[in-house]
Amino acid sequence: MAHLARHGIPCPAPIANLADQYLGTLNGKPAALVTRLGGRSIERPEAAHCAELGALLGRMHLAGRSYSAYLENPRGPKWWRFAAKEVFSFLQKDHQKVLEAELAFQAEHRFPDLPRGPVHADLFRDNALFEDGRITGVVDFYFAGVDCLLYDVAVCANDWCLSKDHSLEDGCAGALLAAYQAVRPVTALEREAWPAMLRAAALRFWLSRLYDFHLPRPGMLVHAHDPEHFRHVLESRIAKPARWSA
């Protein structure tokens, strides 16, 4: 967050203490002070909001290229396999088959040649703040790590651009992708990988919601959401692969 804030990204900027350290201790737990951001999240984003998000995400990815530290996406493929084993017995048989088939599919579609870098990995609607139609802040970097940049875009599209039937809404998706591409042009390989990356993003949040719902941990920072939502999103991406529409 400190690196992004220095590069003009509207995110909470950590404030260093007198020893020039960002992280301290409060009541025996790690703690930090950060700047307060104005604005509110939007429940029902329109195409203009999605365009704002796409441009911001592109700028964030460009700013992240000069960040030297490395942390693998903590909810990446290794975690998917772990979580799948933990929640498998809670699923009915047809959902077990969906999970097994998708894990096998993703194992064959890892795309090592796609551009990689630090990603937010959880930029849902409630993690972006708006004022007068403009993004004033991006928050909640708890799951940030290094992954394909395209994965970050897919996470956003699966939340910001949904139709009632869980398919992608063309206007919002087109605005998001066009604005992102105007800042960071995507490669031909990324366009080709887009349908599989949307499925990967849906699988990640189906698994994490299953895990948090069935295996809640004491003092966890996330609220347990209904896992069925992202199962429907995943099944929609499987049944109707989406093309890069920008």
**Structural domain of 170:** 38-239
Does 226 fall in a domain?
yes
Residues in a beta bridge with 168: 162
**Does residue 2 form part of some domain?**
no
Q: What is the pLDDT of residue 176?
A: 98
User: What is the domain-level CATH number for residue 164?
Assistant: 3.90.1200.10
What type of residue is 167? Answer: S
Residue 183 lies in a domain: yes
Q: What is the pLDDT of residues 78-107, one digit of tens each?
A: 999 999 999 999 999 999 999 999 999 999
Q: Is 31 a domain residue? A: no
CB atoms near residue 29 (< 10 Å): 8
**Which pLDDT band, with edges at 50, 70 and 90, does 222 fall under?**
low
Confidence of residue 2 (pLDDT cuts 50, 70, 90): very high
Cross-strand bridge partners of residue 135 = 130
Judge whether 10 lies within some domain. no
Alpha-carbon torsion, ordered 135, 63, 201, 103, to 10 deg: -170
Q: For residue 15, give the H/E element and its range.
A: strand 14-15
Q: Is the pLDDT of residue 190 over 70?
A: yes
Residue 221: per-residue pLDDT? 59
* Number of separate helices (H) and strands (E) present in the chain: 8, 8
pLDDT the model gives residue 149: 98
Residue 220 has a pLDDT of: 60
Q: How many CB atoms lie within 10 A of CB 110?
A: 14
Assigned domain for 29 exists: no
Domain-embedded: residue 108: yes
The count of domains in the chain is 1
**Does a structural domain hold residue 26?**
no
Distance, in Å, from the CA atom of 193 to the CA atom of 243, rounded to the nearest integer, reads 9
The one-letter amino acid code at 62 reads L
User: pLDDT band at residue 225, thresholds of 50, 70 and 90?
Assistant: confident
Q: Is the pLDDT of residue 219 over 80?
A: no
Tokens of residue 196, six digits: 């599989």
Burial class of residue 178 (count of CB atoms within 10 Å of its CB; 0-12, 13-18, 19+): middle
What confidence score (pLDDT) does residue 223 get? 65
